[in-house]
Copies of this chain bind each other. A is one copy, B any other.
Amino acid sequence: MKSSLDGFAESPAVQLRARPGMIELGFGQPDPALLPSRAIKIAADGLLGGAQAADALSYGYERGPRDLVDAIADRIAETERRPSSSELLVTGGNSQALDELLTHLASPGDSILVEAPTYNFALAIMRSHCLRPVGVPNDEEGMQIERLEEAFGKLCKENRAPSLLYVIPTFHNPTGASLSRSRRHELVSFASARGLTIIEDDAYRELSYRDPAPESLWSIDPDRVVRLGTVSKSLAPGLRVGWMTANERLTRTLELAGLRQSGGGVNHFAAMVVAKVIRSGLYAATVDQLRAEYKARRNALVAGLAATLDGTSYQVPLGGYFVWLELPSTVDASMLLSQAEAEGVSFVPGRSFFPSPTGNTNYLRLAFTYYEPTMLKDGAERLVRIIRNLHPTRRTS
């Protein structure tokens, strides 16, 4: 993705800026025009102009400000069991939370079970901790439990038994799929029987476009599962505020560890702002608006893809940000990317989402959140034209 920024970096403030003339279907980011800056301004104003100003600027409570803990617990309680305050910890978003967890739960050289494909930058965070991600194939119902059993058994035989499993069961990045209900229970049972801790990356839960989001793994086994939530997708990623629900032993360990004892709560000021936004009702309103808007955008992208070729397949996601496109096995998505960018449309080749660097060249990830529907449809149609014109696809059935 980095290449997208080069040449536009004279005075960078943000991670990604769309290139002129390019429809950036690779951007897994919210549309800047949809960021609720007014709601956040009202919250920040109220906070800094009111009785809590000094609290917002002091070293924060290590678990996160209680106002935010309570507000998040209330939000969770609308659809799941309400976590107690000892089961909740405010984080600096899911990336920070994953990093903090790996510092405390893993050692260099450890294997960690992941889906194949999985979120590419979660793999990068694991690699920063010198872990070895081991992939378990997904299908349209998420991680395949039989393949999980195989992978676990193989690691045990090699004396590399893992203690962690990282999974994105709901509106997956990059596939858009959700783990089926039966597999959710099978996965948790398996983890329980084998002593695995599950890290459930639950970044997309709020963005469901048809049914309520599936039950979280955490709600099935709150002792075994560490679930990571965030306002990055449902409010604004620049705030860098998230939370975890986990058992009290773990939240207490993190609370009392050096990082939080030294600096206080992670990202305290922004956490205080988010508490205000949720309490004002503007968070729920923002989520409702994003659901409606992103659903329309998903539909537009899918409409643009509808005319795609035989041999190319994708699943219409029921939530989240992404459509995952499987191309005929003869197509190399990296090579396709050059052609596509030459014609003004971009995407992320799928290979980086696999823990093993070989094979899997025939996938690509498209995001439908960054642009308005007409642009998305246009981008998808351009892409379909390019794929159609490719020689190798003619050979697929």
Q: Which residues of A contact B (CB under 8 A)?
A: 1-2, 11-16, 29-30, 32-33, 35-37, 40-41, 44-45, 48-49, 52-63, 65-67, 92-96, 98-99, 103-104, 107-108, 119, 121-130, 232, 236-240, 256-259, 261-270, 272-273
Majority DSSP secondary structure for residues of A touching B: helix
Does the CB pair B45–A58 fall under 8 Å?
Answer: no
A257 to B102, CA, bound (A): 14
A277 to B323, CA, bound (A): 41
- Closest residue of chain B to A119 (Cβ to Cβ) is B262
Residue with the highest number of chain B CB atoms closer than 10 Å, among A62, A263, A268: A263
Does the CB pair A264–B14 fall under 8 Å?
Answer: yes
Does the CB pair B49–A41 fall under 8 Å?
Answer: yes
Using known A-B contacts A40-B48, A268-B238, determine if residue A11 contacts B261 with beta carbons closer than 8 Å. no
Does the CB pair B57–A269 fall under 8 Å?
Answer: no
If A11-B66, A96-B266, A237-B264 are given as contacts, then 15 extra A-B residue pairs at C-beta distance below 8 Å, sorted by A number, are A12-B63, A13-B61, A15-B62, A29-B58, A32-B58, A41-B48, A44-B48, A57-B236, A93-B263, A96-B263, A98-B262, A103-B128, A107-B108, A128-B258, A239-B269
Does the CB pair A57–B40 fall under 8 Å?
Answer: yes
A129 to B105, CA, bound (A): 11
- Which residues from chain B contact A128 at a C-beta distance below 8 Å? 103-104, 257-259
Using known A-B contacts A108-B107, A129-B103, determine if residue A14 contacts B58 with beta carbons closer than 8 Å. yes
Does the CB pair B66–A12 fall under 8 Å?
Answer: yes
- The one of B57, B126, B238 in contact with A59, judged by C-beta atoms closer than 8 angstroms, is B238
- Which residues from chain B contact A257 at a C-beta distance below 8 Å? 124-125, 128
Using known A-B contacts A128-B259, A266-B240, determine if residue A60 contacts B272 with beta carbons closer than 8 Å. no
7 contacts between A and B (CB under 8 A): A1-B261, A2-B256, A13-B65, A99-B258, A124-B257, A236-B269, A239-B268
